[in-house]
Structure formats: structure tokens, C-alpha cells
């Protein structure tokens, strides 16, 4: 005879509950993985998702779950999902939700909360979760009724995908634990409510398109700057660049979509191209601190701006476009190409000179990366590390950069492949989880995370997640035993070092303790063979001793000083000069 506990288990499996409904909606959306950490407040959803055939990637910290979801969304362009438990599970995830928000990544975060009968009674792990994350999310919902489950979940999915106006970004929904186990009736789950949501392409309005075409035809020096929507519009962008003769600059949001085989791509001439262009075309790109907020102190004072995107942040924030083309980037570029949006009198001498200068500078950098001299401490330059990684990349590789100094070196030195980094929030700790997600998405390609020794400390425990889930990433730790940008800033400005040194940590031994392959590299000639062994035995950590003496581009540009008007000192000084009193 079946016991009471067994009967309850059988009944739970056979009864269609809210938890099953949530899992069905995710399956319909095409979700293949859910990243999360188990907990009592989400156990019904956790079980239902697994039984529905969605792979659960269980992590060691909830922030890592959201980071992994962000990386998947960035690489695929699809909705990605994290599932975290109530209270500290959600608050642990908040920094990563903020990172997804600033990066405008389509991440759906699901959670549980205290049972409804305990609402307002100081229940276990009961905090105002939706209110905490609402400022960071495109939509935040706390669902309490069965008949609200699908409508609110659908609304959150639509918001994360940017459907109905506004930017893409994270969305949040939580469900009381008792509601998760409530039975679902047919009226609560009409078939049409389970249909997937797909991003809606927005075609450009005819009058705005005509203005954009006219603006391009009047220009002579056109520079295009890509943002995150470019990842889904590569063919349209390549066709437009070829037809228009414009030059192209990418950003961390879309690096890897356009590569060196496109003549328009001039990443080594970023500053010059921005300063000299008479027309700047932004593609779903915010004019944030990384682009000097569009200031005439950073761009040519007479430059015009054509801003293309689907929301205010992409078309009007900080600097209005002379023409603001509200449209999906792919459709807008295709329409401009079809309309022969080409400068009538291009400055071919400038275009040729900029491309030639880019080729020279790029070749010089490639030649010198592997020859950078060691520091006074005898340790290798970070560029030597980057050069060795470059030699082992495939066209479909992913490189993740995470840190302060090392991120700055990576932006300059890493070969152009699909690339992810900390983003505009500057959120350290993304390296390990981003690379795990990338390795799960591309299991047959080399995936590297180049991570500072400070940054790796945030999420190193999730190397265990890589081991358990077979994520064959190689984590290369650039180990200078310091928070080096801050160390140099303290030494230069204050002649006093406080809390900036990280001596003696053995990240290779930590990797071995977690079941991964681990090696330490102290000399440059050891690095290549160590990386080869790491690739063969991934997941792996290669702990590489690098010099503190290398001055990163970001430090040289004054990023550590946090100037009042701009991120870089040179831009800040140019801005202040614009407001200086004559004479």
C-alpha cells in the first residue's frame, strides 16, 4: 500500500501546478538553460523546470547565475533566465542584475517569496524583493494569484526583450512558495498565453529615413559606432559599410561582429576618427562616458549625429541626434543601403589615410605584443600573456576580459573575436561566470577568460561549477598581486599604500582543489605550453605572474582620477577649455 508521503509525491507530479505552468512557458520561449542556486522558496519551480527538460546550471553564488544568463543573452541575442531563491538569494543577485541593466541584456530573473498566509508577518527571508530590484529592471512583478501567473510572466518576458517600447534589459518576477504548488485549471492557461514572445523589428518612418539619407549624402567623413544591437545585424552593417564607404568603430557591446577583413574597421584609430568625422552614426549605442557623452570636446565641434535605435537612450540621451531614426538597427541599415545613402563628395584622402594608419598601428601592435619587456621585478608584461592567448583563438572563440589594468590591456591587445567584458558598470567578477556560460554555448571552441587577480576573487568558487557542468573554459589569471590601478594611483598621488596588495595567492592550487586543471607560470617561455595543456584539460586555471610596472592605457588616460566632467583626463581638460573665459 502506498504511504502518505509517497501519495503526496505522486499527486504533486501528476497535478498541473503553477510551477509546471512557469516551466511550460519557458519551454515555449525556447529556453534551454536556467542558471540558479536551489532553495526552499523556489523548489517547486526548480523541480518543474528540470522535469520539463530545461538544463539547470547550478552555481555557487546567485550573482554568478545572473552573470551567466547575461553572457548567454549577449552571445545569442535571446532571452536568458536565472532562478534565485528568496531573501539573500535575490539580494546576492542584485549587483549582477544592475550589470545586466546597464548593459541592456535580456535577462529574466525568477524568484520565490514567503507563502501568502505569512505575508506581512516577518516571515523567513521576507524582504520587499520586487521593490529592491524595480529600479534596475524593465519590469518587476510580485505575483499572488494563479490567474495572474501567465499574464505577468509574459509581460516580464516582453519587457526584457524590449517589446512595446523601451530598452531591452532585465525583468523580474517572484511567486509565493504556496502559489507555486497551487493547481492550475484550463481557464488559467489558455494555449495562446503559452506562445513565445519574439523581439519586434521596427521599420524606420519614411520621413525620418529621408532626412537620414540627406544627412549622409551631405557628409564627407562618416564614422559609424556600433552598440549591442549590432550583434544581430552583422550582414546589414557590412553591406552598409561597403556601400557608403563609412569607417567603423565597435565597442565592448558588439566586438567581434565586424572584424579585420572589413576594410572599414579602424579600431586602432578610434580617437582620431571620433575627433575628425563630420558625421557620426550611432547604432543602438548610448552616448555614455565611454564616448564622452557625445561632447564637442571629444568629437569634432561641427560634427553632426545620426542616431539610430529603438528607445530614447539610443537616440537622444546626452546629445540629441541631428536626425533620430527610431528603428531596429538591421532594418534601418538595410533601408539606408537600399536608398543609396552615400556621401556625394567623400573625403577619400582622409578615408584612405585613416585606414592606412590603422593598418600600420595594428601591425605594429601585433609585432610588439609578444616582445614587450619584463618589468623591473622580472615578471612578464601583460601583453605577453595576451599575445599567447591570441595565438590560440579560433574564429568562433569567445574572450572574456575582467579586471582593472588587465581589462584595459585586453581592449587594446586581444584579437577581434566575440568578446565580453565588465561593461559600462565596471562590474568586476564577471570573468569566471561569463566564460562558463560561453563555454556551455560553444563547447567545441576555445573560450578564454583573462582575469585580474583581484577580479577573480569575486567568483572563483564557480570554477567548481565549470567542473561539474563540463564548461571547458580556460581562466587565465593576470596575477600582479595587487589592485594595480589603485596601487599606482595611491603611490603617485598619496605616497601611501592602503589595502591594495594581494600577496601570495595561488589560484592554480585553488583550481586543483576545486577539481580543475591548474598551473602557475612565472616565465614567459613557459606560457604557451601551459595554455596548450590548459586547453587540453579544461576547465583550467593558468595563474600567470605579471609585472606591476606595466602602465595600462586606462591609467595613462587618467581613469583612476575620476575627473569631474569626463572619464578621461584629456577629455575633461578639453571640456573645461570649452568653458574657459576668453583671454
- How far, CA to CA in Å, does 125 sit from each of 85, 86, 140, 141? 9, 6, 18, 18
What three-state secondary structure class fits 162?
A: coil
In whole angstroms, what is the distance from residue 371 CA to residue 365 CA? 10
Upstream peptide bond of 539 is cis (omega within 30 degrees of 0): yes
In the chain, how many H helices and how many E strands?
A: 24, 17
Residues contacting residue 256 through CB under 8 Å, at least 6 positions apart: 250, 416, 417, 418, 419
In whole angstroms, what is the distance from residue 127 CA to residue 361 CA? 54
In whole angstroms, what is the distance from residue 457 CA to residue 447 CA? 20
The set of cell numbers assigned to 230 is: 549590432
Length of the chain: 583
442 DSSP assignment: S
Q: What is the 3-state secondary structure (H, E, C) of 213-251?
A: HHHHHHCCCEEEEECHHHHHCHHHHHHHHHHHCCEEECC
Which uninterrupted H or E stretch holds 540? strand 540-545
Terminal CA-to-CA distance of the chain, rounded, Å? 98
With b for 16 or more beta-carbon neighbours within 10 A and e for fewer, the 385-404 pattern comes to: bbbbbbebbeeebbbbbbbb
The set of cell numbers assigned to 374 is: 619584463
* 486 among known catalytic residues: yes
Reading phi first (left if > 0) and then psi (alpha if -120 to 50, else beta), residue 326 is in beta
Q: What is the 3-state secondary structure (H, E, C) of 298-322?
A: CCCCCCEEEEEECCHHHHCCCCCCC
Which uninterrupted H or E stretch holds 432? helix 431-441
In whole angstroms, what is the distance from residue 349 CA to residue 571 CA? 27
Neighbouring C-beta atoms of residue 41, cutoff 10 Å: 28
In whole angstroms, what is the distance from residue 511 CA to residue 541 CA? 6
From the list 236, 486, 519, 575, the catalytic residue is 486
In whole angstroms, what is the distance from residue 91 CA to residue 126 CA? 11
Phi then psi for 430, rounded to 5 degrees?
-80, -15
482 DSSP assignment: B
53: Cα within 13 Å, side-chain hemisphere: 6
- Extended strands (E) in 340-469: 398-402, 418-420, 447-452
346 DSSP assignment: -
Residues recognised as catalytic: 486
Amino acid at each position: 500500500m502506498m504511504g502518505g508521503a509517497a501519495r503526496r509525491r505522486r499527486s504533486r507530479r501528476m497535478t498541473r501546478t503553477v510551477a509546471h505552468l512557469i516551466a511550460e512557458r519557458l519551454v515555449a520561449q525556447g529556453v534551454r538553460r536556467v542558471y540558479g542556486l536551489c532553495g526552499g522558496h523556489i523548489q517547486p519551480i526548480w523541480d518543474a523546470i528540470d522535469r520539463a527538460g530545461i538544463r539547470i546550471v547550478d552555481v555557487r553564488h546567485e550573482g554568478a547565475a545572473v552573470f551567466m544568463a547575461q553572457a548567454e543573452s549577449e552571445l545569442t541575442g535571446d532571452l536568458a533566465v536565472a532562478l534565485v531563491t528568496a531573501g539573500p538569494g535575490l539580494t546576492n543577485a542584485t549587483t549582477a542584475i544592475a550589470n545586466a541593466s546597464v548593459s541592456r541584456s535580456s535577462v529574466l530573473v525568477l524568484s520565490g517569496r514567503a507563502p501568502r498566509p505569512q505575508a506581512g508577518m516577518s516571515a523567513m527571508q521576507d524582504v520587499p524583493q520586487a521593490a529592491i530590484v524595480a529600479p534596475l529592471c524593465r519590469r518587476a512583478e510580485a505575483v499572488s494569484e494563479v490567474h495572474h501567473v501567465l499574464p505577468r510572466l509574459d509581460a516580464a518576458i516582453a519587457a526584457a526583450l524590449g517589446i512595446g517600447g523601451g530598452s531591452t534589459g532585465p525583468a523580474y518576477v517572484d511567486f509565493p512558495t504556496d502559489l507555486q504548488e497551487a493547481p492550475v485549471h484550463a481557464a488559467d492557461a489558455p494555449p495562446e498565453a503559452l506562445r513565445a514572445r519574439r523581439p519586434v523589428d521596427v521599420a524606420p518612418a519614411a520621413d525620418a529615413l529621408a532626412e537620414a539619407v540627406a544627412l549622409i549624402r551631405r557628409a564627407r567623413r562618416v564614422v559609424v559606432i556600433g552598440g549591442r544591437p549590432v550583434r544581430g545585424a552583422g550582414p546589414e552593417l557590412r553591406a552598409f559599410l561597403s556601400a557608403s564607404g563609412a569607417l567603423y568603430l565597435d565597442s565592448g557591446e558588439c566586438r567581434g561582429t565586424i572584424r579585420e577583413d572589413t576594410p572599414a574597421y579602424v579600431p586602432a584609430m578610434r580617437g582620431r576618427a571620433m575627433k575628425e568625422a563630420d558625421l557620426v552614426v550611432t547604432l543602438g549605442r548610448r552616448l555614455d562616458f565611454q564616448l564622452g557623452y557625445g561632447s564637442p570636446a571629444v568629437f569634432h565641434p561641427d560634427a553632426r549625429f545620426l542616431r539610430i535605435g529603438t528607445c530614447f537612450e539610443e537616440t537622444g540621451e546626452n546629445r540629441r541626434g541631428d536626425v533620430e531614426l527610431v528603428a531596429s538597427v538591421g532594418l534601418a541599415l538595410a533601408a539606408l543601403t537600399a536608398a543609396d545613402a552615400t556621401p556625394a563628395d567623400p573625403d577619400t584622402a582622409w578615408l584612405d589615410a585613416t585606414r592606412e594608419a590603422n593598418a600600420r598601428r595594428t601591425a605594429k601592435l601585433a609585432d610588439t605584443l609578444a616582445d614587450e619587456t619584463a618589468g623591473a621585478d622580472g615578471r612578464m608584461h601583460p601583453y605577453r600573456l595576451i599575445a599567447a592567448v591570441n595565438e590560440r583563438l579560433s574564429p568562433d572563440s569567445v574572450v572574456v576580459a575582467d579586471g582593472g589594468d588587465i581589462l584595459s590591456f585586453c581592449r587594446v591587445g586581444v584579437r577581434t573575436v566575440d568578446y565580453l567584458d565588465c561593461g559600462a558598470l565596471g562590474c568586476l567578477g564577471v570573468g569566471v561566470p561569463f566564460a562558463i556560460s560561453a563555454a556551455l554555448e560553444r563547447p567545441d571552441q576555445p573560450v578564454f577568460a583573462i582575469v585580474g587577480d583581484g577580479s577573480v576573487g569575486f567568483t572563483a568558487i564557480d570554477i567548481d561549477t565549470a567542473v561539474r557542468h563540463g564548461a571547458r573554459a580556460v581562466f587565465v589569471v593576470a596575477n600582479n598581486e595587487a589592485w594595480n590601478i589603485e596601487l599606482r594611483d595611491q603611490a603617485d598621488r598619496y605616497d601611501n599604500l592602503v589595502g591594495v596588495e594581494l600577496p601570495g595567492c595561488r589560484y592554480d592550487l585553488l583550481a586543483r582543489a576545486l577539481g580543475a586543471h591548474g598551473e602557475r607560470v612565472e616565465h614567459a617561455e613557459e606560457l604557451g605550453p601551459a595554455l596548450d595543456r590548459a586547453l587540453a584539460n579544461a576547465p583550467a586555471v593558468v595563474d600567470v605572474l605579471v609585472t606591476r610596472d606595466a602602465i595600462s592605457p586606462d591609467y595613462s588616460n587618467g581613469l583612476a582620477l575620476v575627473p569631474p566632467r569626463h572619464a578621461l583626463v584629456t577629455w575633461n581638460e578639453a571640456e573645461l577649455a570649452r568653458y574657459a573665459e576668453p583671454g
